[in-house]
Structure 1
Amino acid sequence: VRPTSEVLFCEHYSNIIHSYRDLPKLYNQWANVVRWEKTTRPFLRTLEFLWQEGHTAHATDEDAMEETIKMLNVYAAVCEEILAIPVVKGQKTEKEKFAGAKATFTIESLMHDGKALQSGTSHHFGTGFAEAFNIQYTDKEGKLQYVHQTSWGFTTRIIGALIMVHGDDRGLVIPPKAAPTQVMIVPIAQHKEGVLDFAYDLKTSLGKVARVDIDASDKKPGWKFNEYEMKGIPVRLEVGPKDIENKQVVLVRRDTLEKVFVPLDQLETKLVELLDEIQTNLYNKALNHREERTSVALTLSELKESLEAKPGFIKAMWCGELACEEKIKEDTGATSRCIPFEQEQVSDKCVCCGKDADKIVYWAKAY
Structure 2
Amino acid sequence: QVVIVPIYKNAEQLKQISSHIEPILLQLKEMGISVKYDDADNRRPGFKFADYELKGVPVRLVVGARDIEKGTVEIMRRDTLEKSEAPLEGIAGHVKALLEEIQTHIYRKALAHRQEMTRTVDTYDEFKKEIEKGGFILAHWDGTTETELKIKEETKATLRCIPLDGDTTPGVCMVTGRPSKQRVIFARNY
Query: Which TM-score bucket, shorter chain as reference?
Result: 0.7 to 0.9
Partner letter of residue 246 of structure 1?
A: K
CA distance in 2, matches of 1:221, 1:360: 52
1:295–1:203 CA distance, 2 compared to 1 (3 A): farther
Specify which of 140, 160, 171 is matched with residue 348 of structure 1. 171
1:317 pairs with 2:122: no
1:227–1:320 CA distance, 2 compared to 1 (3 A): closer
In terms of fraction of residues, the more helix-rich structure is 2
Shift of 1:337: 2.1
Q: Alpha-carbon deviations, 1:33-56, whole Å to 9, x = none?
A: xxxxxxxxxxxxxxxxxxxxxxxx
Report the equivalent of 1:307: 131
Report the equivalent of 2:117: 293
SS in 1 for 2:171: coil
1:214 pairs with 2:37: yes
Q: Alpha-carbon deviations, 1:263-306, whole Å to 9, x = none?
A: 12231221111111112222222222221221111111222222
Specify which of 202, 219, 233 is matched with residue 21 of structure 2. 202
Report the equivalent of 1:337: 160
Q: Alpha-carbon deviations, 1:155-199, whole Å to 9, x = none?
A: xxxxxxxxxxxxxxxxxxxxxxxxxxx221111134274344323
CA distance in 1, matches of 2:102, 2:95: 11
Shift of 1:348: 2.3
State TM-score, norm by structure 2.
Answer: 0.85
1:199–1:304 CA distance, 2 compared to 1 (3 A): farther
Q: How many residues align?
A: 185
1:198–1:358 CA distance, 2 compared to 1 (3 A): same
Q: Alpha-carbon deviations, 1:102-150, whole Å to 9, x = none?
A: xxxxxxxxxxxxxxxxxxxxxxxxxxxxxxxxxxxxxxxxxxxxxxxxx
Shift of 1:237: 0.7
CA distance in 1, matches of 2:107, 2:6: 30
Aligned 8 A contact 2:140 2:184 in 1? yes
Report the equivalent of 1:33: none
Report the equivalent of 1:231: 55
Aligned 8 A contact 2:169 2:182 in 1? no
Partner letter of residue 194 of structure 1?
A: Q
Report the equivalent of 2:107: 283
State TM-score, norm by structure 1.
Answer: 0.46
Question: RMSD of the TM alignment (CA)?
Answer: 2.2
1:215–1:312 CA distance, 2 compared to 1 (3 A): same
SS in 2 for 1:187: strand
1:46-125 → structure 2 map (5 Å cutoff): none
1:184 pairs with 2:3: yes
Provide the identity percentage. Answer: 43
CA distance in 1, matches of 2:112, 2:9: 41
